[in-house]
Structure 1
Amino acid sequence: MNPLRIAQIAPLIESVPPAMYGGTERVVYHLTEELVERGHDVTLFASGDSLTSATLCSPVMKSLRLTGQQSAGTLSSLYTLAMVYEVMAGKFDIIHSHVEFLTFPYAAKSLTPTVLTFHGRLDFPETLRLLRMYRNLHFVSISDSQRASARDLNWQQTVYHGYPEDAFGFSDKPSDYFLYLGRLSPEKAPHEAIIIAKECGVRLKIAAKVDPVDQAYFAQQVAPLLDHPLIEYLGEVDESGKIHLLRHARALLNTINWPEPFGLVMIESLACGTPVIVRRCGSAPEIIEHGKTGFICQSRDDFVRAVRGVGTLKRDLCRKAFEGRFTRRHMADGYEQIYNRLLNPDGVQSGSFDEGSSLCRP
C-alpha cells in the first residue's frame, strides 16, 4: 500500500517499549517499528524516555509509573489527545489510539479516521454503556473473545498481537522448572500456580510485579506460600531476564482466572518453544491449541495432569505456532488492511507531511 502518515497514541504510564512490565506499550512499540520499516511516516505520542524509529512527540518527559506519577495519567493523556486532534489531526491520514475511552469524544468529531485498539476487558456494565454511546467508531479487538460482550459495535477486525521473529530465541532443552510470569493479582491467580507446583512436586519460578492495588492480596494469599524449597520468587524482571526464564522453562503455568483479552505472555512463551498450561477463559483457546502447544484446563486436577504430562508436548510445534500466527509481520498486515479500508478505496492519499509540533523529534 502507499505510504501513510500515521499517528500512534500510546499510554504514558510506561515507556515505549517498557523497561519492565507493560504489555500495551510493547505492542505499540513493535507495531510502530514495523510500520516505519514498511515506509510509513509514523508519529508516536509517548513518554520522552521512549525509544522509536518514528517521530516521537512527548507530552511528558518520563513514563509515569516508574516516576511515581500514575495519578497524572488521565490529565496527561487528555493533553496528548487535545494536541493530536485539536492541533495536528490534519497532518495525519490515520490516527491509531491505544488510550481507549478518553479518545471517544475527539474521534467522534474528527475528520481524520481513528482506529481504536482496546487492550483491556470490555464486559463491565459501565464500560458497555459508554462503548455503545460511541458504537460507530472504528474498533479493533485483540481477540474474538474480547468482543463477545459487545458484538454490536463497529468492529473492524480482530488483530492478534505480534513480535519480531528474532525477539525470542527457541530452546529445545529446557531446565527443570515451571514459570509463572506477569502480575501478582487475584485475576491472575498466582497462588493457584504455587499450590499446583507443590502438589506436583515441581520447581516454580515466579517473575512478577505487585501493583499497589494488589498488595493486600499478595500479603494474604501469595506471600504465605512462598516459603518452600520448590518456590522461587524473583520479583519483577527486565526484558532479558524474562526471555531467559521463558526459554528455559518446562512450561508456562498460566493460572489466570478472568477473561484475559489476549495475554502477551502466552505468545512470548510459544516463541521460545515453551508450552503453555492455561485455564480455559478469555483468549486462551484462541491462542493455545490443546495437546499441541499446551493444555487448556478447567479444574485444579486438570492443571495437575497437565503439569505431569508436559513432556508429551513438542517444543518445535510451539515455535511454529508463533511463526505462523503471532509475528510482528502478521500484526502489521492486519492493521494495514484496516487503515486501507478506512481511507479512499482508490488508494489516493493526502498531501505531504506538515511541520510538526515542537514536542516532536525524529
Structure 2
Amino acid sequence: MKIAQIAPLAESVPPKLYGGTERIVSYLTEELVAQGHGVTLFASGDSVTDARLVPCSDLALRLNPAVKDHLPHQVVMLEEIRRRAHEFDVLHFHIDLLHFPLIRDFADRTLTTLHGRLDLPDLKPFYQAFADIPLVSISNDQRRPMPPVNWAGTVYHGLPADLLPFTEKPKGNYLAFLGRISPEKRPDRAIEIAAKVGMQLKIAAKIDNADRAYWETVIEPMVKRHSNVEFIGEINEHQKAAFLGNAGALLFPIDWPEPFGLVMIEAMACGTPVIAFGCGSVPEVIDNGVSGILVDSVTEAAENVEWALRIDRRRVRATFEKRFTAERMASDYVDLYRNLPGVRTKAAPLRRSNGQPLDLQVVA
C-alpha cells in the first residue's frame, strides 16, 4: 500500500527527547516500511526515517528559536498534503484536528489517531460537526467523553521488540518515575510512596514552562526534603534502557484520564513491573499481578511495593512481547487501512506475513 504518515511538527520523528506522539509515529512508520509498504512521512526536516521524508519545516518547531507561531508552518504542511493526496492509498494523520476541513473529499481513505485527552469541553462541538471522519483511539477509555463519532478501531501503542533490552536482574534498588513534571502526572505521590517504604526514588522528567511554577512550589521543595529522592531531569532514548531496566519498579501515580501511557510499556519491555493508579487506560495496559499492580491510593501503592519487586520479570517481558510490539501495532493499523471504504474499492495485493507480495499461480 502507498501510505502517508502525517506527524506533528513540534518535534522531530523520532523526537530528540520527550515526545510520545512523534515516537509512536516513528515506530509505526519504520515497521510499515519493514513490512513492505510504500510509506511517505510528512514531518520536520530533522526527522530520521527509512520512509520517504517530505520535510515540512527545517527543524522541529519547538527546538527552532526563530519560530514564534507554529500555526503557519502547520498550514503549509496541510497545503502540501492537499496537493499530493491523490498519490496515496491511505493518509494517516497524527495531528489532532486541524486537517478535518481539508480532507472532506477524501475522508474515506484517511485515519486520524487521537493521541491526547478528549474530555475537554471545547472538543465536543467540534467532533459533532465532523462525525463522519474515521478516528482511531489508543485505548477504549479514551473514547468515553466523546459524542457519537466514526470510530474505526482502537489500536494500542507498540515498541520495536529490540528497542529496550530485557533486564532480568536490575542493578539498582530504586523506584523510578519517568515522564513529565505536571500536576496530573503526580510526582508528589511518587515521592510519598518512596518515603513510606524507605526506598530510593529516581525522577527522570521534563519540566515544561507551563509547569515551572508547580515544580518550584510543590515538587522541588519535596525533593529537597527527602534525601532518598534524586531528580535526574529529562533523559534521552539511550539513557532510558538503563534507567528503567535497573529499577525495581516503575511508579505511575497519575491523576487524570491517561489516554495510553507509553512509559508503562517501555518499563514492561525492560521487564520492570509497574505500580500504577487505575486511571484512564491503565487497567487496559497493565495485567494486574502479571506486568504490574493496580492501586487506588498512596498507602495501597506503598503496601504493594514489596509484592511488585517479587513479580517475575520474565513474565513482564513476555506480556510486552505478546501485546505491545510495533509489529502488532502496524498489523492492526494495516487491517484498519484495508477496511476503509475508499480503500476497499481498490484491489489490494495479497501479502505474506513479512509484508512481501504473495504471487498466486493457477496450476492447470
Common fold: TM-score over 0.5: yes
Note the C-alpha offset of 1:14.
0.7
Percent sequence identity is 45
Note the C-alpha offset of 1:349.
5.2
Partner of 1:245: 243
Partner of 1:345: 344
Residue 344 of structure 2 aligns to a residue whose secondary structure is coil
Query: Are residues 244 and 149 of structure 1, via their aligned partners in 2, closer, same or farther at CA, if it must alter by over 3 Å?
Result: same
* 1:177-188 equivalence runs, <5 A: 177-188=174-185
Question: C-alpha distance in 1, partners of 2:246/2:230?
Answer: 15
Q: Quick one: which amino acid aligns to residue 3 of structure 2?
A: I
Does the Cα contact within 8 Å between 1:247 and 1:272 map onto a contact in 2? yes
Partner of 1:202: 199
Question: C-alpha distance in 2, partners of 1:229/1:263?
Answer: 28
Partner of 1:189: 186
Matched, 1:160 2:156: yes
Residue 180 of structure 1 aligns to a residue whose secondary structure is strand
Does the Cα contact within 8 Å between 2:90 and 2:343 map onto a contact in 1? no
Question: C-alpha distance in 2, partners of 1:238/1:35?
Answer: 24
Q: Quick one: which amino acid aligns to residue 137 of structure 1?
A: I
Aligned length: 346
Matched, 1:141 2:137: yes
Does the Cα contact within 8 Å between 1:92 and 1:112 map onto a contact in 2? no
Partner of 1:231: 229
Question: C-alpha distance in 2, partners of 1:111/1:292?
Answer: 41
Residue 103 of structure 1 aligns to a residue whose secondary structure is coil
Partner of 2:74: 77
Matched, 1:39 2:36: yes
Partner of 2:116: 120
Does the Cα contact within 8 Å between 1:340 and 1:347 map onto a contact in 2? no
Note the C-alpha offset of 1:309.
2.3
- Match for 2:51 among 54, 64, 68? 54
Does the Cα contact within 8 Å between 1:93 and 1:112 map onto a contact in 2? no
Of 16-25 and 310-319, deviating more is 310-319
Q: Quick one: which amino acid aligns to residue 132 of structure 1?
A: Q
Normalising by structure 1, we get a TM-score of 0.92
Question: C-alpha distance in 2, partners of 1:323/1:65?
Answer: 33
Question: C-alpha distance in 2, partners of 1:111/1:171?
Answer: 44
Question: C-alpha distance in 1, partners of 2:67/2:138?
Answer: 25
Does the Cα contact within 8 Å between 1:142 and 1:158 map onto a contact in 2? yes
- Match for 2:165 among 151, 164, 169? 169
Note the C-alpha offset of 1:317.
1.1
Q: Quick one: which amino acid aligns to residue 12 of structure 1?
A: L
Residue 136 of structure 2 aligns to a residue whose secondary structure is strand
Question: C-alpha distance in 1, partners of 2:147/2:317?
Answer: 32
Question: C-alpha distance in 2, partners of 1:329/1:301?
Answer: 38
Note the C-alpha offset of 1:150.
1.6
Of 92-101 and 307-316, deviating more is 307-316
Partner of 1:254: 252
Q: Quick one: which amino acid aligns to residue 270 of structure 1?
A: M
- Match for 1:273 among 271, 274, 293? 271
1:297-326: CA deviations, max 9, x gaps? 111111111223223311111101100010
Residue 110 of structure 1 aligns to a residue whose secondary structure is helix
Partner of 2:352: none
Runs (5+) with no aligned partner, structure 2 = 350-364
Partner of 2:289: 291
Does the Cα contact within 8 Å between 1:89 and 1:112 map onto a contact in 2? no
Query: Are residues 69 and 212 of structure 1, via their aligned partners in 2, closer, same or farther at CA, if it must alter by over 3 Å?
Result: farther
- Match for 2:18 among 15, 18, 21? 21
Query: Are residues 70 and 247 of structure 1, via their aligned partners in 2, closer, same or farther at CA, if it must alter by over 3 Å?
Result: farther
1:340-359: CA deviations, max 9, x gaps? 01144365159xxxxxxxxx
Query: Are residues 226 and 249 of structure 1, via their aligned partners in 2, closer, same or farther at CA, if it must alter by over 3 Å?
Result: same
Does the Cα contact within 8 Å between 1:107 and 1:113 map onto a contact in 2? no
Does the Cα contact within 8 Å between 1:93 and 1:349 map onto a contact in 2? no
Does the Cα contact within 8 Å between 2:167 and 2:271 map onto a contact in 1? yes
Q: Quick one: which amino acid aligns to residue 224 of structure 1?
A: P
What is the root-mean-square deviation in Å for CA atoms of aligned residues?
1.5
